[in-house]
């Protein structure tokens, strides 16, 4: 018997949620055939069968959160597929036929499926065993619902029938917010107290520490007015990625004191260099964008200013040796930030190819957990239109993020041979958001000045 366990889905991923089983108990599977889909905070992954055989037991229900190395299912590798029936190797066909004539529940306990009649109908003895849940299991109707155990517990405590709730999570998963909405009838009165309110009350009564504002509730004397739906309004539920992003952004703003500094960058030299080489890069199947130049300049400046490539611990901070550069990518499912590992070891061509690779896989939905983990610094390029500059929120646990603005031709003062003149050059504003717990203004300004200096001079190794 082979145990299929929850694998390590990324260096910072300790558990995964069983999103959907692709097989059933008794099914015969081939080696590398997908068994189930597992969802994590980073990405969704299919878990393949390590060996051909029969699925003898499914140990984790859909919606269950399973830790690394936790049991998912068991495969009987000694079983072999013969026609429509699955029998253990070495067992004679006569024994298998005799077993099929026995009552279905007994036969199923030995790992055999009920025999089908000439019309293709299965035996009718199995439902009796299936109807009675095992000790400690949730009712059968609840087990069939895609949701986490904590959400199912909340639903039972709130008297909510999960079968009547429309799930807004990935693969139709029912979230805690779905259950809370189901418990609140549409009325002009204020909604009943939520679990978040109870948590806030417990934190206040415990005493000490900072109590953060609670969304939809308020902070201190300020209370958020309840929402009353009106004709024409559209309520758009959060999907799983939007929920994770929202929680991450709130956590970052509460945790890290953000400061933003802005630099004006003359891209004349970089633009000429790009025009000279973009056709050559295109023949190699790589797009030479201004984003690639900004990333290359940021990586070089990070090596000269290692405190910007750090993370904060409880009473210390770590200067991280590897520079894993995150690049924000807008996908149909929302914004994600895959990273280019060891970006400081790459040439401009290597960086441009890396950006194309992670962005392409992100938009195709093929990003892995490792792509989204280990980032040490990020660069964001929100688009070409209506974006003079802006202060991005730091992606935790990093201490900085660089945000590009739009590139626009502007008049600039050019000095040649001691004489000033006005010229029209492509210009961009860049904004650096940094964590003031460990990054001071002098260091942040020095880092950003160096990035602008590299771009202004066009100092790049192709």
Closest CA to 323 of 366, 278, 354: 354
Dist. CA 33–CA 7, nearest whole Å: 16
The string of DSSP letters for 341-384 reads TTGGGS-HHHHHHHHHHHHHHHHTT---TGGGS---EEEE---S
Closest CA to 281 of 349, 354, 346, 345: 349
Tell me, yes or no, if 266 is annotated catalytic: no
- Name every residue whose Cβ is closer than 8 Å to that of residue 286 and which is 6 or more positions away in sequence: 349, 352, 353, 356
Q: Are 29 and 73 in contact (CB under 8 A)?
A: no
Instruction: Name the active-site residue from 117, 275, 436, 453.
Output: 436
Count helices and strands in the chain by DSSP H and E runs: 12, 22
Dist. CA 321–CA 214, nearest whole Å: 37
Dist. CA 338–CA 242, nearest whole Å: 16
Dist. CA 83–CA 76, nearest whole Å: 18
- H/E stretch holding 298: helix 290-304
Q: Count CB neighbours of 438 within 10 A.
A: 18
Tell me, yes or no, if 305 is annotated catalytic: no
Cα 196 to chain centroid distance, Å, stands at: 23
- H/E stretch holding 294: helix 290-304
Instruction: Name the active-site residue from 69, 129, 247, 440.
Output: 440
Residues involved in catalysis: 436, 440
């Amino acid at each position: 018997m082979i145990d299929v366990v929850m694998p390590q889905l990324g260096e910072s991923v300790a558990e995964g949620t069983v999103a959907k089983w692709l097989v059933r108990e008794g099914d015969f599977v081939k080696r590398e055939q997908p068994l189930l889909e597992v969802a994590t905070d980073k990405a969704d992954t299919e878990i393949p069968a390590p060996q051909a055989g029969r699925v003898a037991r499914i140990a984790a229900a859909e919606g269950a959160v399973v830790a690394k190395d936790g049991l998912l299912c068991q495969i009987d590798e000694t079983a072999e597929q013969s026609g429509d029936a699955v029998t253990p190797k070495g067992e004679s066909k006569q024994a298998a036929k005799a077993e099929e004539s026995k009552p279905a529940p007994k036969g199923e306990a030995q790992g055999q499926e009920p025999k089908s009649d000439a019309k293709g109908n299965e035996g009718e003895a199995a439902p009796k065993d299936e109807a009675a849940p095992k000790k400690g299991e949730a009712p059968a109707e609840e087990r069939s619902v895609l949701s986490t155990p904590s959400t199912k517990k909340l639903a039972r405590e709130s008297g909510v029938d999960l079968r009547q709730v429309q799930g807004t999570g990935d693969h139709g998963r029912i979230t805690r917010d779905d259950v809370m909405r189901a418990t609140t009838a549409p009325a002009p009165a204020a909604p009943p107290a939520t679990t978040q309110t109870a948590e806030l009350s417990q934190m206040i009564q415990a005493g000490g520490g900072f109590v953060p504002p609670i969304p939809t509730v308020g902070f201190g004397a300020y209370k958020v007015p309840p929402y009353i739906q009106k004709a024409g309004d559209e309520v758009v539920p959060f999907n799983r990625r939007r929920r994770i992003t929202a929680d991450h952004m709130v956590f970052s703003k509460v945790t890290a004191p953000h400061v933003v500094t802005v630099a004006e960058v003359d891209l004349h030299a970089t633009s000429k260099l790009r025009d000279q080489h973009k056709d050559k890069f295109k023949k190699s199947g790589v797009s030479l964008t201004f984003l690639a130049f900004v990333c290359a300049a940021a990586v070089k400046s990070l090596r000269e200013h290692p405190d910007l490539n750090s993370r904060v611990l409880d009473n210390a901070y770590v200067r991280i040796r590897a520079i894993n550069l995150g690049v924000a990518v807008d996908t149909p499912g929302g914004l994600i930030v895959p990273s280019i590992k060891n970006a400081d070891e790459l040439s401009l061509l290597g960086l441009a190819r890396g950006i194309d690779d992670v962005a392409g896989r992100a938009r195709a939905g093929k990003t892995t957990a490792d792509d989204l983990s280990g980032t040490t610094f990020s660069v964001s390029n929100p688009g070409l239109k209506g974006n003079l500059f802006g202060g991005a929120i730091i992606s935790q646990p990093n201490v900085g993020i660089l945000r590009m603005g739009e590139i626009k031709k502007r008049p600039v003062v050019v000095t040649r041979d001691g004489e000033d003149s006005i010229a029209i050059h492509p210009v961009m504003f860049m904004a650096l958001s940094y964590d003031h717990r460990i990054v001071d203004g002098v260091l942040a300004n020095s880092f950003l000045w160096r990035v602008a200096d590299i771009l202004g001079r066009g100092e790049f190794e192709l």
